[in-house]
C-alpha cells in the first residue's frame, strides 16, 4: 500500500497501512474466500481525506455487528476491528465489503 499512497501524509499513512492489513486479514480469515477468488482493495485520497475499501466475496457469511470491545491484555487476536474503531474517522462493514476513512489530524501550535 505504501507505494500506492505516497502522497498521503505520514501521520495518516502508517495508521492506514495498519488498518488495511487488519481488514485484509479479516477477509482472508473470516470471509470463506476460495483460493481462486480475489480480494479487491480501493484506495482514494482527496487531499483531505483517505477512504480505503476492501471487497471480498459476496457469498461471505454476514455476522451481526456487535459493539467493538478492547481485547484482553495479552490477547493474540481480536485487535483488528478494535484498532479500526479507534483510529478511523468513520468505518463500516456489509456483506463482502469493509471500509474506513481517515483524515490528517490538525496539530495545534505549541
Give a yes or no: residue 54 inside a domain: yes
Q: How does 91-102 read in b/e, with b if 16+ C-beta sit within 10 Å?
A: bebeebbbbbbb
Give a yes or no: residue 33 inside a domain: yes
Structural domain including 94 reads 10-63+79-102
Give a yes or no: residue 69 inside a domain: no
**So what's the pLDDT on residue 87?**
92
How many structural domains comprise the chain?
A: 1
Give a yes or no: residue 70 inside a domain: no
Compute, in degrees rounded to 10, the torsion defined by CA atoms 21, 79, 89, 17: -20
Mean pLDDT by groups of 10 residues along the chain of 110 residues: 65 89 88 86 88 82 61 71 90 88 64
**So what's the pLDDT on residue 74?**
77
In contact, 101 and 49? CB cutoff 8 Å? yes
Q: pTM of the full predicted structure?
A: 0.77
Amino acid at each position: 500500500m505504501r507505494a500506492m499512497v505516497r502522497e498521503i501524509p505520514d501521520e495518516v499513512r502508517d495508521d492506514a497501512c495498519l488498518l488495511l492489513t487488519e481488514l485484509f486479514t479479516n477477509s482472508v480469515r473470516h470471509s470463506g474466500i476460495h483460493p481462486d477468488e480475489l480480494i479487491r482493495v480501493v484506495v482514494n485520497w482527496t487531499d483531505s481525506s483517505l477512504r480505503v475499501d476492501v471487497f471480498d466475496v459476496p457469498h461471505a457469511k454476514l455476522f451481526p455487528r456487535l459493539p467493538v470491545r478492547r481485547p484482553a491484555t495479552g490477547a493474540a487476536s481480536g485487535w483488528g476491528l478494535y484498532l479500526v474503531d479507534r483510529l478511523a474517522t468513520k468505518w463500516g462493514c456489509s456483506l463482502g465489503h469493509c471500509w474506513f476513512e481517515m483524515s490528517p489530524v490538525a496539530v495545534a501550535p505549541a
